[in-house]
Structure 1
Amino acid sequence: MKFNTALESIKTYEAGKPIELVVREYGIDKDQIVKLASNENPFGCSPKVKDAVRAIIDNMALYPDDSMVKLKSALSNKYGIQSNELIIGAGSDQVIEFAIHAKAHSGSKVLMNSVTFAMYEIYAKQVGAQIIRTASREHKMDEFYALYQEHKPSIIFLCTPNNPTGDGLLASELVSFIEKIDNDTLVIVDGAYMEYARFKDPSYAVEPGDLVKRFNNVLFLGTFSKAYGLGGMRVGYGIACAPIIEALYKVRPPFNITTLSLEAASVALEDELFVQECIADNFSQMERYKEFAHAKGITVIESYTNFVTLLLPEEKNSSKIAQELLKKGMIVRDLSSYGLNAIRVTIGTRVQNDRFFELTDSLV
């Protein structure tokens, strides 16, 4: 059977190993496994969310409200935008897919950072677009602008804070770059970890409402999978001027978000205190990783997220270390597929982090 030839150059996205798979492969008791690979909130979601979802469990036989009015109203109030400047996706990566299919095609060029979220390339290649990457690991806007001038891409991806490295862009630097880009180039600002950046240093906080008011070629992405602890519910969103959102709606399938997911995300926005407490604990525990890395002579990338990237010395192999940890029930992310001899570790609870330090101590 023949398939679309564009698929031949696409590598399947490798998600972090689920706990259930580790149980089957290594025979480890489920309660002994610690997953620090997918940047989930280790405290889960707000208790208010759990109560709200239980309360509507009997509604599962009915299709969800496809207007998503409750969630859109909550997000509109949060960011000071209009509902027609919003689109909701099954995770922010679905909104990425919408944007690629709406804007790019065979012959288009898509510009992104050297090391960044893998789905940008995967979705772009699905439509036959050419991938243009910068040379540096971190986002360097002079490199982006030089490549923009040379290639005139249809789409530019800026991931801040960046996944999988954790570094961020100053909001002022981001805005200065966008000001130099023509209106026919779609600039996608992926802010999946923006809640963490805003807490750590407001100068790194990109405000989507401000972007929408200033630019008609910017799409901001947010998600409930990280700080809000709803990775299993799959809810993300895109914020842009109305014409961009209108175009994205033309490639959106109906009922793409479940009733339970819509309710969970809406209620999650009502409990910001829970989210802020989780974020505060995240950065408190992150200091322990910095101390561990310093003691071991390991470079840790300054992180504005809920994870740390540990750059290992040449004599240590990230794939081997990740595999050894896996055998002991500790799931982390090996970044060798990104060209880095590094592991990415989600900041867990104090107990989970204790376990990481204990198991990793002899390996690094």
Structure 2
Amino acid sequence: MNMNTDFQQYAYIPLKQFSNRVWRTYEGGALIDKWKKDSPEVDGSLPEEWIMSTVTARGKGRPDNEGLSMVQTPSGTYSLKELVASNKELYLGKALADKFGTTGVLIKMLDSKERLTIQVHPDKDYAKTMLDSAFGKTESWYVLNKREINGEKSVIYMGFKEGVTREQWEILFKNQDIEGMLDCLHKIEVNPGDAYMIYGGVPHAIGSGCFLMEVQEPTDYTMRVEKVTLAGLTISDELIHQGVGEQNMLDCFHYDGCSYEEALKRWKVSPKTIDSSDKHTLNTIFNESHTDCFGLSELDLTVNGEHSLKSNGSFFVAVIYYGEGTIISGGKEYSFAQGDEIFFSAAIEEVKFSSTIASKILLCYPPS
């Protein structure tokens, strides 16, 4: 049988991925277990679920293919990467296939039991010059749930306060003065429904007790300024500066501090309703007005609700945050339930979601 033609036929059906937990330097994951209805719900070193990923995770001594999403097809399990490679135009859509040749986006569910290390991601210019990458790592956070850990509220740290200089930051880094570094950043309490854009160059850290969806450019480039994690794990030089050295790593930060109010104005996003009926509400969260790197919308369906989505020439990914029901696509019916992650290729022209119970579906889109 010709694998290629075989693979191409799967572009016309919704593809569900198998669970895809990924090792990170911080602990968490219990709320992912809860969302997936897996028991026991445990915090450990697999605090992220990577969704429809065609990129591998960066981590020493980890499996080579860690991070790659595997999907189920009528003839077995394949990586999304190999399916897409069989016919990029069919799976991705012509514009995306021509421009990037990959999905151009990485989607994650992330649940933190401890604060993540203070970090920064490269912007496109830095990524190109220093890392020889077409993608930086602009990302977004959409908060879904939170929990208090050791009596601490769920917070994020983001952006330099006014007046922070590179010299000052370098001294704090050299001295590994973690409290001093945290004190240079805005500390923001978060609640479910909050949305933030994290552009390349902006320092940030997710605090403990945050369960969020992260939609981002498809790289795993992270510069870190803490050499030991909260749990006592020593971080390798490679994971500190990605091979560019400490001085270049410090240049990755944008030293353009601002007030707390200005920080919220720059980076906090207000979801907007773009379509609604008595059966559904469709909100846009991240769109072209924030970034051309990716998009995120949220479809809320009532009991026995329904809504149809038309393909606009590219693929999209549906993540079922809660609810259940059916998907009608190409005249066939498929089921969906809480915890499902579903890829709809560009070849699928229309998809209708019908819910039997109240449902929340997160819709992730590639670069525009």
TM-score by length of 1: 0.33
Q: Which has the higher helix share?
A: 1
Q: Which has the higher strand share?
A: 2
Q: Which has the higher contact order (CA 8 A, sep 6+)?
A: 1
Question: Normalized against structure 2, the TM-score is what?
Answer: 0.32
